[in-house]
Amino acid sequence: MPSALRSGGLPAHRLSSSLELKQKKSATGTNLPSSPEMLILRQNLEETRKKNESLQEQLTQLRWLMEEKLREQREDAQRREEEARRREEAAKADNEKLRVEQQETHTTLIAISAQLRDLQQKNQMKRQQQHQPPQQPGPSTSAVSLRNVEVQAQPEEDIDHSSFVEVVRRKPRGINSGKSSSQQREQQQRSLQQQQQQQQQQQQQQQEQQQQQQQQRKIRRPKADLIEVVPQEGLTWDSVYRKVRDTVRDDPAHKNLEEHIGMGKRTRADLLRIELSRSADSTLVLQEVQEIIGGSGVARVVTEMTELLVTHIDPLAEEQELKAALKEELQVNAGVTAVSMWQLFDGMKRARLCLPTKAAKQLAGRKLRLCGCISSIMEAMPVSVDRQRCYRCLERGHLARDCQSPVDRQQACIRCGADGHYAKSCTSEIKCAACNGPHRIGHISCARPAARCLH
């Protein structure tokens, strides 16, 4: 038998190569456990497997938690829907109940008003019947016809007159002679309507009178002027006040001030304020008070101010021309302390003026001729506190009496924030003194709100 068949059908060279391969495999197989790299690899694989198992457990737990959360959210949503449905049903029931109650109330009011109308009509009819004397009732036409029948039947001899009885129907005539009941009702209704109209007119007149009285009460009288005195350094307000009082009492030259000056009071800044009577000429009183105190202080007039709005101003008009026109209108100096003029889209101008209340009352509602055109003067709407400016810190949103800001900017320029000059003569770039932005202090775009000055 050939050697190839004895070895299982393989050639001799292939059989030797397969034996060598088996020997190599067996050699490598016996050397695997002793290799440190393989041990490290197996350890890493084992650790990776454990990590995968722990991650799978964590994923399972997270999946379970998410399912639990979803279930709770579904339950919460169902509860909220149920509560919303119950609230909606309760609201519908309440609305229906209110509607029924309103309908019942409306029906009751209609019935009561109908009863009142009936009572008024009955009372009116009774009064008319009392004022007009009753008339004697006359025979009806049925009696006349019966008499005619009786007269015509007298010639007949075969009629038994004892079997007939004369029936006379009598009924009272209307209140007005010969008028039917329908005409009487119409006349009564007309008289009732006239009375109701008269009552309504009287009620309207009374309401108008009450409204006029209320408006007259609402008109507030302007406050009286004050004299404010700033004492000189080293003097107090009460010492200056005592000097004024003693001079008015003892000096005959200033005796006329006694009936025009009132009580003196101290302000928060330790200044003296003296009240004046409404009939006093504040300019003359100021001159005399300044003459009395001399170098002990500086006096000035404090008067109530009002703002006016001037509309339809010519585009070429200026502030000085507006002041001159106001002076010409009043024939005296109007005492305008501030003018704010701006231009509208169509070129026309408007101006907001601040002047004493006495002069403002005379100018409000008038027409003003300015640059050959007619302008209108009206009382300006009051500015809200949010837009009013504090003259201590120069920010908006509060007044100086409520200001708690640590910064005093009374001597600063509103335009650039620097000291030593005012906005009227400022030529510097516009700069906010609060946030250093490219705008005036108190502008709406300022990054720092003015409310902080109240805390």
- pLDDT above 70: residue 343: yes
446 close to 436: Cβ distance less than 8 angstroms: no
* pLDDT computed for residue 311 by the predictor: 93
Q: How many helices (H) and strands (E) would you count in the chain?
A: 9, 9
Residue 437 has, within 13 A of its CA and on its CB side, a CA count of: 12
Q: Cα–Cα distance between 174 and 183 in angstroms, integer?
A: 9
Is pLDDT at 448 greater than 90 in this prediction? no
Lowest average pLDDT, out of 25-39, 196-210, 216-230, 366-380, goes to: 25-39
More confident residue, 16 or 424: 424
Q: What is the pLDDT of residue 450?
A: 47
Average pLDDT, integer, range 282-309: 89
Q: Note the pLDDT of residue 445.
A: 78
In the predicted model, is pLDDT for residue 92 greater than 60?
yes
- Decide: helix, strand or coil at residue 63: helix
Residue with tokens 């007298």: 154
Q: For the chain, how long is the longest CA-to-CA vector?
A: 186
| CATH number given to 305-379 | 3.30.70.330
- pLDDT band for 141, please (50, 70, 90 cuts): very low
CA angle 346, 350, 355 (to 5 degrees): 175
pLDDT at residue 282 is higher than 60: yes
Nearest to 375 by CA among 361, 386, 363: 363
Q: Find, among 422, 395, 420, 425, the residue nearest to 407 by Cα.
A: 395
pLDDT at 28: 47
Residue 416 has pLDDT above 70, yes or no: yes
- Select the highest-mean-pLDDT range: 162-166, 191-195, 210-214, 227-231: 227-231
The amino acid at residue 122 is K
Each residue's pLDDT tens digit, 49-66: 999 999 999 999 999 999
Using the Cα atoms of residue 305, residue 308, residue 313 and residue 315 in order, give the sign of their dihedral: positive
Q: How many CB atoms lie within 10 A of CB 127?
A: 10
Query: Is the pLDDT confidence value at 149 over 60?
Result: no
129: Cα separation from own chain's centroid = 58
Q: By the 8 A CB rule, do 429 and 414 touch?
A: no
pLDDT (mean) for 9-29: 49
What's the whole-number mean pLDDT along residues 331-336?
82
Amino acid 20: pLDDT: 54
Contacts for 437-443: CB closer than 8 Å, 24+ residues apart: 440/414, 440/415, 441/394, 441/395, 441/409, 441/414, 441/417, 442/389, 442/394, 442/395, 442/396, 442/414
Residue, of 26 and 339, whose pLDDT is higher? 339
Give the whole-number percent of the chain exceeding pLDDT 90: 20
* Alpha carbon distance 442, 390 (integer Å): 9
Least confident of 13-17, 141-145, 340-344, 362-366: 141-145
Its pTM surpasses 0.85: no
Average pLDDT, the chain: 79
Q: According to the CATH classification, is domain 226-302 in 3.30.70?
A: yes
For 260-270, b/e burial (b = at least 16 CB within 10 A) is bbeebeeeeee
* Residue scoring higher pLDDT (113 or 168): 113
State residue 215's pLDDT score. 61
Among 134-148, 161-175, 321-335, name the one with the lowest average pLDDT: 134-148
Task: Give, in words, the CATH class of 386-454.
Answer: few secondary structures
Between 207 and 67, the higher pLDDT residue: 67
Q: Would you say residue 165 has pLDDT above 70? A: no
Interval 404-424 mean pLDDT: 89
The pLDDT value recorded for residue 25 is 47
Q: Is the pLDDT of residue 138 over 70?
A: no
Q: Using CA atoms, how far apart are residues 93 and 86, in angstroms rounded to an integer? A: 10
Count CB atoms within 10 A of the CB of residue 304: 13
Q: Which pLDDT band, with edges at 50, 70 and 90, does 453 fall under?
A: low
Contact 311, 380 (CB under 8 A): no
pLDDT for the residue numbered 186: 79
Q: Indicate if the pLDDT at residue 452 is higher than 90.
A: no
Most confidently modeled range among 208-212, 270-274, 387-391: 270-274
Mean pLDDT value across residues 378-401: 84
Residue 389, classed as helix, strand or coil, is strand
